Amino acid sequence: MSASLFPESVETDRLRLERVDADDAGALDLYEHWRTEAPNVEESTEYVSWEPYDHPNGVAETLERAVDRVEGGDGAMYLLRPRDGEDRAGEIAGTTGLFTGWDQRLAVFGMWLRKPFWGRGYSGERADALFELAFDRLDLDVVRVSHVPENTNSERAITKYVDRHGGRREGRFRNRVSFDDGSIHDTVEYSVSQSEWAAADGAETAVEFRD
């Protein structure tokens, strides 16, 4: 397994996904958006498992773990940036990830988006790209995605793109995830199979991988 499994960048109509790598110098930039004092950070991290960082070292450690995943073939973390022509083009809009369970032939998607970029349809657009990565490039069988029940924004976005790609809601799973603050939460989970994805042809954006 190697980084070659996961493209260095992915471009959609409006987004550029940049893979986090060992030589990245972006920890301080990302820290500015993940730190406890950043505007809107409490609202934008209300339903994620991690807590805002109070020092850049925490971000650096998270990025190091992401690099280890890539090198081990276990997944990749990407920075999301709007492309030219979009409002606030080039800024870090958030992060997304694809994490693999090779034995189960499974991919799990994750995403965090800064509040100024909510409501633009970016979640569905990067999902189009990650579905193509999971099914066409990695030849996995199933993608799973989830949200905590209280996160109605994620529920709307996920339901829309899962339906569009032929998938389904699997149900609510109790005490499924532990947050860094010690709390335990249910999740609502969805899945899309490779055959469902191929039959639905639900992509709304062109996707280009760059190695």
What letter represents residue 208's amino acid?
E
Residues 100, 74 contacting (CB under 8 angstroms): yes
pLDDT digits (tens, 9 = 90+) for 151-171: 999 999 999 999 999 999 999
pLDDT of res. 23: 66
Q: Helices 152-164 and 122-131 sit at what angle, rounded to 10 degrees?
A: 40
Mean pLDDT of all residues in 141-159:
97
pLDDT band for position 211 (cuts 50, 70, 90): confident
pLDDT band for position 14 (cuts 50, 70, 90): very high
pLDDT band for position 77 (cuts 50, 70, 90): very high
Across the chain, mean pLDDT equals 93
Distance, in Å, from the CA atom of 198 to the CA atom of 165, rounded to the nearest integer, reads 8
Stated pTM of the model:
0.94
Ramachandran sector of residue 175 (left: φ over 0; alpha: ψ -120 to 50; beta: rest) = left
pLDDT band for position 1 (cuts 50, 70, 90): very low
pLDDT of res. 202: 82
Mean pLDDT of all residues in 172-199:
97
pLDDT digits (tens, 9 = 90+) for 100-120: 999 999 999 999 999 999 999
pLDDT band for position 22 (cuts 50, 70, 90): low
Distance, in Å, from the CA atom of 41 to the CA atom of 141, rounded to the nearest integer, reads 35
pLDDT of res. 97: 96
pLDDT of res. 112: 96
pLDDT band for position 60 (cuts 50, 70, 90): confident
Distance, in Å, from the CA atom of 75 to the CA atom of 70, rounded to the nearest integer, reads 5
pLDDT of res. 25: 58
pLDDT of res. 178: 97
